[in-house]
């Protein structure tokens, strides 16, 4: 079967792709999709992505945890932000979290079409994700959330890791997939060192989230694939 | 002095950059900016980029040469298209050419702002361009024309070549510049072989323009820098 895997480098380019029937993998490595993966792995019932900080407040009195991050920092008055260390089993098991982030939730909403499937990718669940993508007979779009619609290295590296693992399973690749794979091959022996080249890295250094960055670059510590069902991300169940 | 060099991977991302005071280098390696460089080198008086094939016709009776290309092919009835072999001294010396192409002229028009400087980059004039950029005390945006707003490898590789040569002269780089430079370093020993990985390459192979591709990947065969003045590209003169 002819199958296509493509890489959309930022949400600002998503309109160039027809994703009505695709599997779309949303990628926001630092830190939204890493934290979502970790939270679902740790037993969160669901994570509801919302666009605006204010939208979180509508959920306030229903026992939900509220998570809001803007420009890399927790919004004042919220339970927590985007750090994966907030998504431990102790804090999230059995809970529903309402989340808004700078880039990740925006990408999730843009990706959500009537007949497609939207899942979450991160280095934490790389192998589980690739194993599943390999078995599905569908075209795949890897959607990098980027930074305020700009290209970023960490999301592109992850897209490249997926292309590299699935190369034998697909017949069609785009130029951005070729580039992402080659960048991943350059970087994979020390992802953290490679990201020190990045403009984003300087910004992250200022936010003092080095521990978060290292956490998000761990590979295959989680086995879940969060999938968007209606308005919420839940654990994909076998055969779903 | 603090100076910034950035890479805009496709015209669809240009709105993210403030280019009012910048030097913008427009890059459409296969084949518009290569042919423009070669044509100006060979004594064309000017090349006027227009957006639509129909816009060329307004110039028809004024002794201009008309060049139109869509989807990689010469538009029927026009003098020539986008192939650099049409831009020899014999054909273009002393002439003004009106040109429309799929991607290059669109990028040129988007880049053109009141107070900036728009120049043409190609492998043919790489060194001349970099020498000039090094001496100007201004921020630089390298604008890849891409393919119908999509990322493409050949324009990105050229942007990477410029970043690589100018790294010591600038203090600020963006993630796309880092990526472009690393891809160029991977590819530079055999650019043609590297581009065989590209989706665009398959399309080009179908158009049977292998000679054009090889021509456009030659480095430093031209010494001109075409610059946009009003509505037309002309040879930059010293001190201009």
Per-residue pLDDT of A56-100, as tens digits, reads 878 877 789 999 888 777 888 888 888 999 999 999 999 999 998
Which tokens go with B99? 């040109």
Rounded (10°) CA dihedral A161, A164, A168, A170: 60
- Judge: A175–B182 Cβ closer than 8 Å, yes or no: no
Place B203 in a pLDDT band, splitting at 50, 70 and 90. Answer: low
Report the residue of chain A nearest B180, measured CA to CA.
A179
Q: Does A173 touch chain B (CB under 8 A)?
A: yes
**Residue of higher predicted confidence among B240 and B222:** B222
**Among A198-207, B1-10, B72-81, B108-117, which is the least confidently predicted range?**
A198-207
Which A residues, 2 through 21, put their C-beta within 8 Å of a C-beta on chain B?
9-10, 12-13, 16
Average pLDDT of chain B to the nearest whole number: 92
Q: Testing the interface with B: which of A178, A180, A185 to mutate, by most B Cβ within 10 A? A: A178
- In the three-class reduction of DSSP (H, G, I as helix; E, B as strand; rest coil), residue A102 is classed as coil
pLDDT digits (tens, 9 = 90+) for A165-223: 999 999 999 999 999 999 999 999 999 999 988 766 666 666 668 899 999 999 999 99
Query: Measured between CA atoms, how close is A74 to chain B, in angstroms?
Result: 25
Residue B89 parent element (H or E): helix B89-92
Output the pLDDT for position B240: 56
The count of CB pairs under 8 A between chains A and B is 78
- Asked if B142 and B174 touch (Cβ cutoff 8 Å), the reply is no
Q: Does B167 touch chain A (CB under 8 A)?
A: no
Q: What are phi and psi of B44, to 5 degrees?
A: -60, 135
Domain boundaries, chain A: 4-32+103-234
Q: Does B178 touch chain A (CB under 8 A)?
A: yes
In chain B, the percentage of residues whose pLDDT exceeds 70 is 95
- Asked if B124 and B41 touch (Cβ cutoff 8 Å), the reply is yes
Query: Measured between CA atoms, how close is A12 to chain B, in angstroms?
Result: 7
**Among A16-30, A184-198, B46-60, which is the least confidently predicted range?**
B46-60
The mean pLDDT value for B166-188 works out to 96
Asked, as a colleague might, if the bond just before B93 is cis with ω within 30 of 0, I would say: no
Using a CB-CB cut-off of 8 Å, the residues of chain A touching B151 are 9, 13, 174-176, 179
Output the pLDDT for position A105: 87
Q: Does A231 touch chain B (CB under 8 A)?
A: no
Topology at the third CATH level for domain A4-32+103-234: putative 2-phosphosulfolactate phosphatase (3.90.1560)
Q: Using the predicted structure, report yes or no on whether residue B91 has a pLDDT greater than 90.
A: yes
Output the pLDDT for position A239: 62
Place A102 in a pLDDT band, splitting at 50, 70 and 90. Answer: confident
Output the pLDDT for position A187: 97
Q: Using the predicted structure, report yes or no on whether residue A108 has a pLDDT greater than 90.
A: yes
Q: Testing the interface with A: which of B143, B160, B179 to mutate, by most A Cβ within 10 A? A: B179
Which tokens go with A210? 């080095």
**Residue of higher predicted confidence among B14 and B76:** B14
Output the pLDDT for position A1: 74
Q: Testing the interface with B: which of A172, A173, A179 to mutate, by most B Cβ within 10 A? A: A179
Output the pLDDT for position B29: 95
**Residue of higher predicted confidence among B105 and B131:** B131
Using a CB-CB cut-off of 8 Å, the residues of chain B touching A182 are 183, 186
Output the pLDDT for position A74: 83
Which B residues, 39 through 68, put their C-beta within 8 Å of a C-beta on chain A?
none
Q: Does B101 touch chain A (CB under 8 A)?
A: no
CA distance B118 to B41: 17
- Asked if B119 and B23 touch (Cβ cutoff 8 Å), the reply is yes
Measuring CA to CA, how many Å separate A81 from each of A53, A65, A78, A160, B22? Answer: 11, 10, 7, 27, 37
Using a CB-CB cut-off of 8 Å, the residues of chain B touching A176 are 150-151
Strands across the sheet with A46-49, in order?
Answer: A73-74, A65-70, A96-100, A46-49, A232-235, A226-229, A117-121, A23-27, A140-144, A4-8, A172-173
For the B4-229 domain, the top CATH level (class) is alpha beta
Place B159 in a pLDDT band, splitting at 50, 70 and 90. Answer: very high
Which of B175, B183, B200 is closest, CB to CB, to A198?
Answer: B175
Q: Using the predicted structure, report yes or no on whether residue B52 has a pLDDT greater than 90.
A: no
Report the residue of chain B nearest A176, measured CA to CA.
B151
Q: Using the predicted structure, report yes or no on whether residue A134 has a pLDDT greater than 90.
A: yes
Handedness of CA B235, B217, A4, B179 (dihedral sign): negative
CA distance A147 to A145: 7
């Amino acid at each position: 079967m002819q199958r296509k895997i493509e890489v959309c480098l930022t949400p600002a380019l998503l309109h160039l792709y027809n994703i009505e029937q695709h599997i779309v993998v949303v990628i926001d490595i630092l830190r939204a999709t890493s934290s979502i993966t970790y939270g679902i792995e740790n037993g969160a019932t669901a994570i509801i992505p919302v666009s605006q900080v204010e939208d979180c407040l509508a959920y306030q009195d229903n026992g939900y945890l509220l998570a809001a991050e803007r420009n890399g920092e927790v919004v004042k008055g919220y339970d927590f932000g985007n750090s994966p260390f907030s998504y431990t089993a102790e804090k999230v098991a059995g809970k529903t979290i309402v989340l808004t982030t700078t880039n990740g939730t925006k990408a999730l909403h843009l990706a959500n079409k009537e007949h497609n499937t939207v899942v979450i990718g991160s280095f934490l669940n790389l192998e589980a994700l690739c194993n599943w993508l390999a078995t599905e007979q569908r075209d795949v779009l890897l959607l990098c959330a980027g930074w305020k619609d700009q290209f970023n290295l960490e999301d592109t590296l992850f897209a490249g890791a997926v292309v590299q693992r699935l190369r034998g399973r697909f017949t069609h690749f785009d130029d951005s997939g070729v580039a992402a794979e080659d960048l991943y091959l350059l970087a994979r022996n020390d992802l953290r060192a490679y990201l020190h080249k990045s403009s984003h890295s300087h910004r992250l250094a200022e936010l003092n989230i080095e521990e978060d960055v290292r956490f998000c670059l761990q590979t295959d510590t989680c086995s879940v694939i969060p999938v968007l069902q209606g308005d919420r991300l839940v654990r994909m169940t076998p055969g779903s």
